[in-house]
Chains A and B, each alone.
Chain A
């Protein structure tokens, strides 16, 4: 069975304090790994798709990386507006996504 585990469950940082979120997965035949951002009471917003180990993608203060067992979302010099829940999901052979439980990130000014 495909599984996705995100850690930590919650992370509190000071503004400007860089850190990383982890997404570990077990899946047969990874076709894609997705990162989303979700604000309270809203739908997830797409951030990145990674397709194969070694791939990296960047957007503003965020950088996503992928290995054969896990993905990291690196946040550099975060700002309070980066506070949100970050979701990781994998797609294997079927059309559906399997989501992790998310990491709730809080950036204090």
Chain B
């Protein structure tokens, strides 16, 4: 079955530690996205990538970093510079650029204490 996988489902870290969230897709999609969701709020875009080896900042990129070395993979690193990292993180993809619905993964809930 084609889809997007995110791992792990739950992640716990101590304050001051960097942590990397995994996102893999086997849909052969060119574009991938990372969102953050806080309780009672909509999704906010962190980073997106339209093609391998290229990515752009979204609306809330500070304290995060990404890489896109392979078409299938778009890992997100939450650095110690992110002031409020505890949130639900969602990865999505679209076939290419244009007006397409985004397919979402199951999400990773990150808790930093």
- B107 CB to closest chain A CB (Å) equals 5
Residues of A within 8 Å of B42, CB to CB, are 4, 6, 87, 89, 99-102
**How many chain-A residues does the 8 Å CB contact rule pick out?**
25
Residues of B within 8 A of A6 (CB): 42
Residues of A within 8 A of B101 (CB): 34, 46, 49
Are A95 and B107 in contact, with the CB atoms below 8 A? no
Q: Which residue of B lies closest to A10 (CB)?
A: B40
Q: 8 Å CB contacts to B: which residues of A23-56?
A: 31-32, 34, 36, 41-46, 49, 51
- Report the bound CA distance from A9 to B42 in whole Å: 11
B residues in contact (CB < 8 Å) with A: 4, 31, 33, 40-45, 48, 50, 58-59, 88, 90, 92, 97, 99, 101-107, 109
* A51→B99 contact, CB < 8 A: yes
Q: CB of A69 within 8 A of chain B?
A: no
In the assembled complex, which residues on chain A have CB atoms less than 8 Å from the CB atom of B41?
101
Contact present for A32 and B99 (CB under 8 Å): yes
Q: Considering the complex of A and B, which 3 residue pairs feature the smallest CB-CB distances, nearest first? A: A43-B104, A99-B42, A32-B99
